[in-house]
Chains A and B, each alone.
Chain A
């Protein structure tokens, strides 16, 4: 491989290699890891979004003591700027001597006591966050937490920001969920209570998922992020079943099944409406509810007869229609859109890319590592869009990825490009022949993709609030439409501005020229 080229593969190549032969570029343990600005949002256990630190404070009123070398807590000042996290982090910095003698472990109970003293209100929980060095030392932080708990008489729990174990059997984001849900006490189960596990921010309350659950008689739908206090959090222990919306919560759900006998059902976030429909069908199956149009059967399955009845939620439900219609509208208006899909999005980038292709758009590239379990999507992508490129954000050669601009296209051309199927393919081929990549990504999904295409239209699609189901699909289409519309407005304004500036310039030139003419006229 020559220098100066970012190494990527087409989905066709990946499909031909098969799920058992994922190229080493996508296996981060085999190469140095490039922390490009694109990858930073996720490639650090505490970097952005809900890393271990923020997740560890998911329980209302909790505080965190980070026990680590100073470097591990360094970027926390960024999190302290987020509303609600201002005064919740404390640090116990450990030295080499501490590590050798483990004397810092003895200091923790006293440190917990001291930080509670400076809190304005008594915290509901103290999380003790430890890092790689304690992973190597094999520190039994559970025991230390119990000691601290005895001293301060409020719950103290450990959480582990072990970057070293990120690709292990129990990565940090899995462990932090286990640690949090381990607090749930055994309670009398209530058939009308369900927990949504997986996210640290709420699922979009407009999602049809809530209607579906209510339609089968669920009254209390609890999520860790919507609990107003620790008592409400504790009531999550009464759930009839858990819905696991993120595989990182699978182990925590398994713990709850073993400890509190709460069964769980795992759902996946999709953007393809067929896949969503199939999943809901499977969900109803798991709940013992059979789909049927007949009212008698609906009653048998304890489904309401009202607006949110089982029948209206099934495949023909208005929400599905709205979702598909929103993408149809988008396609009608901007049929030429070409996407670049990143992995810093609320969704699986391969499924998201496949969905966009199914809705009729082009996806030029995906920035994500193709794990073997994504083989289905890779196969589908290879059939529908074989030349779509896949890059790993973290592979060293990504330093050479050509951050493209818009080339020399005019504002008019850019607008036309987005509206219609591009007529500039020949120009693109020429660009490729000249050794440059065609600069024709119109829309990026995800902060990472946006980094690679600074001049495209950016749809971040990584809000804390989690999109879900058909409503999520509709909102995605709306977000893309709004962003493209806004970009076109700016382009038009720029074109108009240039026209005006041109007119002003001409007027100014005329004005400057006028006296000369006048002078000449008066010249004898």
Chain B
């Protein structure tokens, strides 16, 4: 039956995804709810809540507030709050209640902006979609606000980004923070013919999965940003809800450092608001989850920064493929799934797998959004529990890689199940991965 969950608990909702992007950015984050949603977010979906403080509040809506549409009371509460709390911005995150009563978040934003001297971003989540949508919307809201106000105005950075220039011009402008173009290139490694190559731009080009060719602006951006911050990589789609477990951020960071990047910025896991303001200085951006794709594409368009879609270090999440296995099913985020597929079929294991099983096939399935551009024909989007049960029955995989909570749905499954945690699905935190 559509929507009926007999085996799995509900997945992390969009409002949790939005909050996970905004959590560490120093704003007043208001969950527009009665208290239950904020309790769910802070007390359950947000692992950082008990470790680091963040000004995440519930709007504390009451039935009559909702019935009467008391937006002024909401504005007053927020206004009062920002007089007491030191904040860089205000974010309002939607939940089912404002969705049902049709709260005009843009109007609330305008009302607030008239009363407080802080940027206001709104995220129209409704608790009825999944966390990936919330992550996407929060990135978009934040980047859009920065685009409108000027990237450097919001993050507190000293310099103002010339926002009316083209990508190439901006890239050139960014060069001013160093010295002259040539000199800067020299600084970055005179022996290299192309500065961008030094910072992985060539590698990036080879791995570009975005579907778009590098534009002239993009190339210029890569090269020139290399002169400015030649080994700076931004990774989107890496909130705690996107990642398999608490160690995954470290795996990504380590993998990118081993690729030669000196500064790795994980947007959603440690990045500050200033890092968003400085996003134009990134040499390259990577979407490690589907929910980060829109952000990296936006930055590509805005600054010409090249982008990739991959999960760095994915191979380290999978110590070995099952020898003799012919059919694999990976159920996780699509980007991680793809990178794992690449790891199974494309690295040193490939020979071993293909020698024994030349017909080896890897299917990637996901409960979360899938991007058509990086999807292979056999891949599957899962919505209902029955979708998963039917997929397993159809492809009869020798190995399933995914969160072990899914085993409950296939009690008679005879193959090997490799547990790869996915908190957004299971709601269970792992002390460490059990592979």
Contacts and interface: CB of A to CB of B under 8 A. Distances in A.
Interface of A: 1, 3-4, 7, 28-35, 37, 40, 43-48, 68-78, 80, 89-96, 98-99, 104, 107, 110-111, 114-115, 118, 131-133, 135-137, 161-168, 396-397, 399
A35 B426 CA distance: 23
B16 to A, nearest CB: 7
A133 B66 CA distance: 10
A73 B128 CA distance: 11
Contact of B62 (A76, A137, A167, A397): A167
A93 B97 contact: no
A32 B50 CA distance: 20
B27 to A, nearest CB: 13
Given A89-B9, A90-B5, A397-B85, A70 B62 contact: no
Contacts of B53: 399
Interface in B5-56: 5-6, 9-16, 28, 30, 33-40, 42-45, 49-50, 53, 55-56
B77 interface: yes
Interface string B86-130: 100000000111011100000000000000000000000011101
B177 interface: no
B35 A33 contact: yes
Contacts of B84: 1, 3, 7, 396-397
Contacts of A96: 99, 126, 128
Given A35-B43, A47-B40, A72-B96, 20 more contacts: A33-B59, A33-B60, A37-B43, A45-B35, A72-B10, A76-B10, A91-B4, A91-B10, A92-B1, A92-B3, A92-B5, A93-B10, A96-B126, A132-B34, A136-B100, A136-B101, A162-B63, A166-B62, A396-B57, A399-B85
B38 A164 contact: no
Interface string B380-406: 000000000000000000000000000
16 contacts: A30-B77, A40-B43, A43-B39, A44-B38, A46-B40, A69-B126, A70-B127, A74-B9, A74-B13, A77-B426, A90-B4, A96-B128, A132-B33, A163-B36, A164-B34, A397-B84
B5 A133 contact: no
Contacts of B63: 135-136, 162, 164-165, 168
Given A74-B427, A133-B100, A69 B3 contact: no
Contacts of B30: 32
B186 interface: no
A167 B28 CA distance: 24
A99 B63 CA distance: 18
Contact of A40 (B42, B60, B126): B42
Nearest to A73: B10
A495 B95 CA distance: 52
B10 A163 contact: no
Nearest to B85: A396
A132 B98 CA distance: 11
B78 interface: yes
B428 A77 contact: yes
A399 B55 contact: yes
A71 B77 contact: no
Interface size class, chain B: 35 or more
B246 interface: no
Contacts of B33: 132, 163
Contacts of B44: 74-75, 78
Residue with the highest number of chain B CB atoms closer than 10 Å, among A35, A96, A114, A136: A35
B15 A71 contact: yes
Contacts of A69: 13, 96, 126-128
Contacts of B127: 69-72
Contacts of B61: 164
B5 A47 contact: no
Contact of A74 (B4, B10, B57): B10
Contact of A90 (B6, B15, B40, B45): B6
Nearest to A113: B1
A136 to B, nearest CB: 5
Contacts of B3: 91-95, 98, 104, 107
Nearest to B13: A71
Interface-central residue, B67, B80, B426, by most chain A CB under 10 Å: B80
Among A69, A72, A74, A118: residue with most chain B CB under 10 A: A74
Interface string B121-163: 0000011101000000000000000000000000000000000
Given A95-B3, A99-B100, A397-B85, A44 B55 contact: no
A132 B85 contact: no
Contacts of A3: 84-86
Contacts of B43: 35, 37, 40, 44, 47-48, 75
